[in-house]
Amino acid sequence: MVVTFFSFMVSLILSLNILLAIPIIFLERREPSSTWAWILVLFFFPVGGFILYLLLGRKLRKKHLFRWEGRKKIGIEKLIDYQMEAIEDSTFEYRLDDAAHFKDLIYMHLSTNHAVLTQDNSVKIYSDGAEKFKALLKDIETAKDHIHIQYYIFKMDNLGRHIYNELIKKAKQGIQVRVLYDEMGSRGVHKRHFKELIEAGGEVEVFFPSILPLINPRLNYRNHRKLVIVDGRTGYIGGFNVGDEYLGLNKKFGYWRDTHLRIEGSSVHPLQTRFILDWNQASDNQDIEYSDRYFPTFSRKGEVGLQIVSSGPDSEWEQIKIGYVKLIGMAKKYVYIQTPYFIPDDSFMDAVRIACLSGIDVRIMIPNKPDHMFVYWATYSYIGQLIKAGAKIYIYENGFLHSKMIVIDDEASTVGTANIDFRSFKLNFEVNAFIYDRETSHQLAELFEQDMQLSTELTPERYANRSRIIKMKESISRLLSPIL
């Protein structure tokens, strides 16, 4: 009887896994690598794999996820159409020679992402958390109308409470304050922790909150964006979240090396639009309506060309990834890449390999301190392939490297929230600034070269001599990489 019951349960579990595998293979039209990864999980971990699939494997319903009629009022559709047509018939006015060289990339972002080109920006680069948050707090303190804050991780530790207390002060002064955070990234933080801010007149929303405690069918789709917009005139975008570790105060990670931008100019408007779209998706009854206060006119701030590009599982194209691939393909001299995770798809790997084999100086920097073990060893496996193609690999030793940056030829660059992995390319909601400016790109390249002095090169010999245990970790992690 016991044997019969056991046999019945085994048959039931195997049948259930087969039934789950059918939609993955035939209905969801995933990439083969992702399909095989889920099939492996389902068959090697029948019960646990079933639960994981329900939580992490189901595709996101895209219909009407982000809606905001205010885009028509700020004239963004007309501006997009004008820029596309002008680029097509070669009548577009490039006030900056640096941008004109990248008209194909600019057009691609316009057509796939409605990312307008602005040419009047000033950009300040921050690679140190203390400096970045000092500047941010100053902008918060001097805000005159509104403060919009969006972070993947917002911790109520020393840094988080410092920012939180400043927001309360501004809300009590009558400044409009809105905070949006991701539930998965900010686990442990709840709306009740923002009670004093809400009582002072501030507003707080959560992206993709759980239906019930510990039950969230959209758990796998995370809003990884980090944006701050102050008065519609100043914007922040980059890799820093809010937490003491981003100030280098976590013993596990040590110094936190990241890249963040402070922007003034017309590109603040696309940053504002992105925030409003995300806010309205998360809000049940506090939608932001169009108002001139969010899109003020101002005199020209600088001469940096910028496009703000978003991507996520809601869109048809992997906009940031194809922007990365196109940018690398346009390099003539060098490509510098910084990323905490390197788990690319075939298209990205091919772009980097082609650059290497074409004689381009390709340098990739990854951290020495892993924060996700499987991701770290999967990164090592992909890096090994590029060493064979001629890429130079650097392991950052001065703490944790969290920067998401690509620079080519001292001419163009991109900084934002998107890592080089399947999650950022396909599952996370991300945002990057694509920069068409020699001076800014040169500054980013100099930061990379300074970081090289704090890094160890992973030579072909050193990689070939890694232990069998590391090789085994790489192999297992790589099999699971499409769903990490």
Work out the average pLDDT over 115-134.
97
Hey, is 152 helix, strand or coil?
Answer: coil
pLDDT > 70: percent of the chain: 81
pLDDT tens track for 125-138: 999 999 999 999 99
What is the pLDDT, as a whole number, of residue 151? 98
pLDDT band at 377; cut points 50, 70, 90: confident
Confidence of residue 479 (pLDDT cuts 50, 70, 90): low
The 10 Å CB-count burial string (b at 16+, else e) for 267-283 is bbbbbbbbbbbbbbbbe
User: Tokens standing for 161?
Assistant: 């409470």
The string of DSSP letters for 88-117 reads HTT----S-HHHHTTHHHHHHHHHHH----
The token duo for 271 is 């940053």
How much is the pLDDT for 95? 84
Active-site residue set: 224, 226, 231, 402, 404, 409
Mean pLDDT of all residues belonging to the chain: 88
- The 3-state DSSP class for residue 124 equals strand
pLDDT at 73: 63
Count Cβ neighbours within 10 Å for each residue of 316-346 and write b for 16 or more, e otherwise. Answer: eebbbbbbbbbbbbbbeebbbbbbbbbbbbe
Nearest to 274 by CA among 307, 297, 305, 245: 307
Q: Describe the chain by its helix, strand, coil percentages, rounded to 5.
A: 45, 20, 30
CA dihedral 86, 88, 89, 91 (to 10 degrees): 30
Strands 234-238 and 227-230: antiparallel
Q: How confident is the model at residue 387 (pLDDT cuts 50, 70, 90)?
A: very high
- Give the chain's end-to-end CA distance (angstroms, integer): 41
Classify 408 as helix, strand or coil. strand
Residue 273, C-beta contacts closer than 8 angstroms, at least 6 positions apart: 68, 71, 74, 76
The residue that leads in pLDDT, 384 or 73, is 384
pLDDT in tens, 9-29: 667 766 766 666 556 545 555
pLDDT for 215: 63
The reported pTM is 0.87
